[in-house]
Structure 1
Amino acid sequence: MDIQEIIISKVKEAVASIFEKELDSVELQATRKEFEGDVTVVVFPMLRVVKGNPQVIGEEIGAYLQANVSEVEKFNVVKGFLNLVISDAFFLNFFSDIYQNTTYGYVAPKDGDKAVMVEYSSPNTNKPLHLGHIRNNLLGYSVAEIIKASGKKVYKTQIINDRGIHICKSMLAWQKFGKGETPESTGLKGDKLVGNYYVAFDKAYKAEIETMVAQGADKETAEKEAPILLEAQEMLRKWEAGDPEVVKLWETMNGWVYEGFEITYKNLGVDFDKLYYESNTYLLGKDVVADGLERGVFYKKEDGSVWIDLTDEGLDEKIVLRADGTAVYMTQDIGTAIQRVKDYPDIGGLVYTVGNEQDYHFKVLFLILKKLGFDWAAHLYHLSYGMVDLPSGKMKSREGTVVDADDLISEMANTAEEISSELGKLDGFNEEEKQELYKTIGLGALKYYILKVDPKKRILFDPMESIDFQGNTGPFIQYTYARIQSILRKADFDYVNADIKSAYTLHEKERTLIKQLQLFPEIVQNAANNFSPAVVANYVYDLVKEFNSFYQNVPILGAEDTSEKTFRVQLAYKVGEVIANALNLMGIKVPERM
């Protein structure tokens, strides 16, 4: 039983003993810094049950706790807030328990527990990954790692959108303008090469529209009947019909893109357990619709199209099958969700990392799956996130104005190099070590800047602001970790196995740090429950601030007393480990030196 549980139990016992009343709940909070104490019991909610002066009630409960709870050393009451001072022995025993537990804060999955599948990335194969994909990947990967740390088995997946008019546009432009060039002949990553032809298609398409308008066609007609668009639509029809030549070109160009994506994922530090391809899943769901139609979940209109009426749930009517029998995206998503549970029968929930422009789509999808009777549909979650903007404005992929993911990752390392060189922080590093550190700092800055923001909020991303060695940034946290490692390297005695006696008197800064460490397991669970890496990011920033305050106010290696020096090095060691574990949940590496 932790200290909060002990206090809640004993407060209820005190109220029953002193006032002969029964409390349903007890509200606790951390004691405010301006008052003495570690845990505060809020008296005001008790007044519904216990009548009287809150100051007097607090005094009487405090006296009872001091007499009956060994961990409560003393107390004070401030305007109905009962502040409890917890004994040093309690904090020392707690620290002793967690000190050599390298997975502190993480929970191992239990046999028989349901797994969670997290989908993220899911790009189109007509262009490279861009800044928007970076937020998607970082969020999805981090949420998967946090859910795993909270005690659940996790499968990471994506569905690659490898079919449709978008890839046909790139394929057609390559046929027309490519002159047989390949990633090998150009030295370009395959996704970049294919993306260039998506831009080339758009340029040619716009030129044809201008020509048609100049020849007297109205703009709307020109947009629908431009020859190059009609050719792309014909290519899509041929692909769907299995035309060998078109399918071969599709396989070749998609193959280039997959290889390019793999490099970007590796550079970004994300991975997947299972890949799904839209070319394999786009027909899924049609049989489910047929079954749902029979059971009255769906209904058929006169033209033969199949719909679901969700007006009673505050939504609208949604088509699930066109009149010609072809599927819509909703049909495919229904079928893919069901297929995933067939592939992994232990799945109890799915998390979809998709931008907030798809909020309505997922409301409808989840409701349809519930109406179809799948019990796991109650555990579906749309990890909705806002756009990422740059100071220069919005991005448009068809015009070639996106911020390429690879370019941004490279730019972040370059920016880290510039700033590190100016600050003169890397004396004693060889060139290879410097380059590796620039990548670690740059990528850490990018990830932390994006993940520290609540997923639902829009982000204005400023690369220079993100690589600041002061403030709420990745490099500031990484630098504190490196500082701790420097302390440990200088500790020329065996601090690891030393036993600190419970008679040790804690300094206020030591006590504050231990209380911050106590929060980590709860933080991991809260972040998992809220699908929010921002919870972890803000926690580790607070931990780092507390450590730096400790470092500046309390001698560590310079402490004269051996017990003090040993304990403070142990405390620094554990703080460093928790920093590393917290950053690991966000996919951020820590440098041993900076």
Structure 2
Amino acid sequence: MNLYQFISDNIKSTLITIPELLKVDLSNIIIEIPKDKSFGDFSTNIAMILVKQLKKSPRQIAEIILPYLKKLDFISEINIAGPGFINIKLKDEFIFNYINQQLDIKINNPETIVLDYGAYNVAKTLHIGHLRTSIVGDTLNRIAKFLGHKTISYNHIGDWGRPMGLVMAWIEKNAITNITAKELDSFYPMAVEYAKNNSEFLDRARIITAEFQNGDSKWTALYNTFIPISLKAMNDVINRLGMLPFDNTLGEANASKYLAPVEKLLRDKNLLQESDGAQIVVIREDTDTAPMPPFMFYNSRGADTYDATDLAALYYRKINDNPDRVIYLTDVRQTLHFQQVFRVAHKIGLFKPEQLEHQYFGTINGKNGPLKTRDGNAAGLLDIIEIVNNAAHKRVIESGKKLPKETIEMIAIAALKFNDLIHDVKSDYIFDADDVVQFEGRTGPYILYTAVRLKSILRKNKNEITKIKLEYNYKLSEIERSLILKILDFNRIIQFAFDCRATNILANYTYDLCQLINTFYHECPILRDDVNEQTREYRLQIAKNAYQSLYTAIDLMGLKIPSEM
């Protein structure tokens, strides 16, 4: 159950019964959770919102409202502050007894949502840019599932166009027969470099690209030889990062099969126009304030374009999944591209504008520019994982601990992923491996350490923790109250994080929760001999629910809790 929603609904239901407010507009009322707890557990600006409508001062309005809100049985204190804010404090027994219901999230209108993230390239090493789309996409996928949505995840792989032609031309030129994953990763960059000074090779790559895209059996057979190698390499990274498997790994090659029906839709609506030999769709609107180039379906050579295959991929998802919403997660450089694709998708009746979303993300750099390996080469995603793993191993040694290799790997992956999630998705950030593996501060290891510490308390308790109700004569301490209220804010945070498509909201909540848990750990002893049985039971109940919320948050971020740290 969502505590915030419960409180908001009860306050608003009470307001509409007040005679003086029967004819006023209450739609702009805001119920807030104050950061400063001296202002209460909840606060509302209703008195200031209604000044113009009621022609009274905020305090006069607040004094009208107060007697009605006081009747709500979950409120212990209510007062007027400042110019007319109404501050509300909840009863101890109410919030304590409420925590057993806090993870029961039910949304009224679950959707079928297609999530497009990953976008790995065949025969190319995954790079640092793939980290954000993978980690943020996976977390949004987990959150959506948790909320009750049906999700269908797509890794829209790059397996089409000239990159494939260059790889195949390189294999042909060097008469390569046995291909390993490491060798496959090197073919494309070597082919690109060679093509810079060899026009014949580049022309050959273009010919192979055209023949492959037209279904030539020789090049299709070669593609079928190296695609499993590339897919296995992708899956190895997915598994190491602890991501959910993609429901579909389909790329431009699959989308190209649906170009014909998409072209028919375009021609049926007279949308395709010829321009310098290309087939385009004019999508500029009178309200545009920035340049909006036309959508190109076929280029001047008659070849289909990246725009066309992305539109065809949307068509495929429409006829196969019929989703309520499609969400893409790519870097900011593709913003214009998706604006174009979405406009054409709307014009041919595939989706309404509000059903299509492009969530872009910022870039990751090292302290001195692009991330590099020790030998000075651009760092791939596996390189980054190894760099963090080595930093985590070093940090564990410095702490004087001896941990299994598997535990260090868990710490390293948590460090890498949490560091990405806690930053605003749309912002750039600087990555430093030594910083992210620290056991203090806003780091993944700190989150895992808190979970391990809390779990150890629950493990040491030999008695079963049963659901109990708070006795009226027991007064919660400030830290107990603060921790319970943070636990009870979990449902709101999860819904808010998804609504905003902002995984940093979840990550920052998790850090704040851990800080309260650690303060609770130090200030509220549980298993010590001098703690009376009633207090121990209450605190165990709080600890159990805190761990449940923390465990769920950690799981939603795709992290794993080790048995020791």
Is TM-score (shorter-chain normalized) higher than 0.5?
Answer: yes
Give the conservation status (yes or no) of the 8 Å contact 2:145–2:151.
yes
Give the conservation status (yes or no) of the 8 Å contact 1:388–1:461.
yes
In the TM superposition, residue 178 of structure 1 has moved relative to its aligned partner by: 7.0
Give the conservation status (yes or no) of the 8 Å contact 1:310–1:316.
yes
Give the conservation status (yes or no) of the 8 Å contact 1:12–1:23.
no
Give the conservation status (yes or no) of the 8 Å contact 1:310–1:318.
no
Q: CA deviation digits over 1:125-155, x for unaligned, max 9?
A: 1312121112111111111111222221001
1:164 counterpart = 2:161: yes
Q: CA deviation digits over 1:329-349, x for unaligned, max 9?
A: 22221121111121123x111
CA distance in 2, matches of 1:378, 1:40: 33
Change (3 A) 1:291 1:52: closer
Letter in structure 1 aligned against 2:256: Y
The aligned runs of 1:270-285 (5 Å cut-off) are: 270=243, 271-285=245-259
The aligned runs of 1:436-475 (5 Å cut-off) are: 436-475=406-445
- Which residue of the partner structure matches residue 312 of structure 1? 286
- Which residue of the partner structure matches residue 332 of structure 1? 309
- Which residue of the partner structure matches residue 462 of structure 2? 492
CA distance in 2, matches of 1:336, 1:317: 19
Give the conservation status (yes or no) of the 8 Å contact 1:109–1:152.
no
- Which residue of the partner structure matches residue 547 of structure 2? 576
The alignment partner of 2:152 has SS state of: strand
CA distance in 1, matches of 2:371, 2:36: 45
- Which residue of the partner structure matches residue 385 of structure 1? 361
CA distance in 1, matches of 2:43, 2:101: 24
Q: CA deviation digits over 1:276-335, x for unaligned, max 9?
A: 132232252343233322323333458473432424352333322335543222222112
In the TM superposition, residue 443 of structure 1 has moved relative to its aligned partner by: 0.3
Give the conservation status (yes or no) of the 8 Å contact 2:283–2:344.
no
The aligned runs of 1:53-452 (5 Å cut-off) are: 53-66=57-70, 68-79=71-82, 80-98=84-102, 104=103, 106-107=105-106, 113-177=110-174, 180-183=177-180, 190=181, 192-206=182-196, 209=197, 226-270=199-243, 271-301=245-275, 303=277, 305-314=279-288, 315-323=292-300, 325-345=302-322, 347-394=323-370, 401-426=377-402, 434-452=404-422
- Which residue of the partner structure matches residue 7 of structure 1? 11
CA distance in 1, matches of 2:293, 2:380: 37
The alignment partner of 1:370 has SS state of: helix
In the TM superposition, residue 424 of structure 1 has moved relative to its aligned partner by: 2.4
Superposed CA RMSD = 2.7
- Which residue of the partner structure matches residue 38 of structure 2? 35
CA distance in 2, matches of 1:240, 1:41: 61
Give the conservation status (yes or no) of the 8 Å contact 2:167–2:191.
yes
Of 473, 477, 486, 1:516 maps to 486
CA distance in 2, matches of 1:34, 1:424: 39
Q: CA deviation digits over 1:332-368, x for unaligned, max 9?
A: 21121111121123x1111111111010011111111
CA distance in 1, matches of 2:493, 2:118: 26
Moved more, 236-245 or 452-461: 236-245
The alignment partner of 1:330 has SS state of: helix
Of 46, 52, 58, 2:56 maps to 52
Change (3 A) 1:161 1:87: same
CA distance in 2, matches of 1:499, 1:35: 26
Could you list the runs of 5+ residues in structure 2 that have no partner in the other structure? none
Change (3 A) 1:92 1:497: closer
Change (3 A) 1:395 1:201: farther
Give the conservation status (yes or no) of the 8 Å contact 1:308–1:317.
yes
In the TM superposition, residue 488 of structure 1 has moved relative to its aligned partner by: 0.9
Letter in structure 1 aligned against 2:212: W
CA distance in 2, matches of 1:447, 1:318: 36
Change (3 A) 1:167 1:487: same
Moved more, 192-201 or 498-507: 498-507
The alignment partner of 2:295 has SS state of: strand
The alignment partner of 2:343 has SS state of: helix
Q: CA deviation digits over 1:406-451, x for unaligned, max 9?
A: 222233222212111211244xx5xxxx111111110011111111
CA distance in 2, matches of 1:572, 1:302: 69
CA distance in 2, matches of 1:52, 1:240: 73
Of 510, 528, 537, 1:566 maps to 537
CA distance in 1, matches of 2:194, 2:277: 37
Give the conservation status (yes or no) of the 8 Å contact 1:76–1:84.
yes
Give the conservation status (yes or no) of the 8 Å contact 2:413–2:559.
yes
Q: CA deviation digits over 1:459-515, x for unaligned, max 9?
A: 221111111111111111111111101111222333235554455322221111111
Identity %: 25
1:585 counterpart = 2:562: no
CA distance in 2, matches of 1:475, 1:171: 44
The alignment partner of 2:156 has SS state of: strand
Change (3 A) 1:533 1:31: closer
Change (3 A) 1:375 1:408: closer
**When the two structures are superposed, what TM-score results if normalisation uses the length of structure 2?**
0.90
The alignment partner of 2:327 has SS state of: strand
In the TM superposition, residue 72 of structure 1 has moved relative to its aligned partner by: 1.9
The alignment partner of 1:445 has SS state of: helix
CA distance in 1, matches of 2:351, 2:202: 44
- Figure out how many residues of one structure are paired with residues of the other and give that number: 552
Moved more, 556-565 or 576-585: 556-565
Letter in structure 1 aligned against 2:357: Y
Change (3 A) 1:176 1:373: closer
CA distance in 1, matches of 2:93, 2:313: 55
Moved more, 365-374 or 319-328: 319-328
Give the conservation status (yes or no) of the 8 Å contact 1:62–1:84.
no
Could you list the runs of 5+ residues in structure 1 that have no partner in the other structure? 99-103, 184-189, 210-224
Give the conservation status (yes or no) of the 8 Å contact 1:299–1:307.
yes
The alignment partner of 2:440 has SS state of: coil
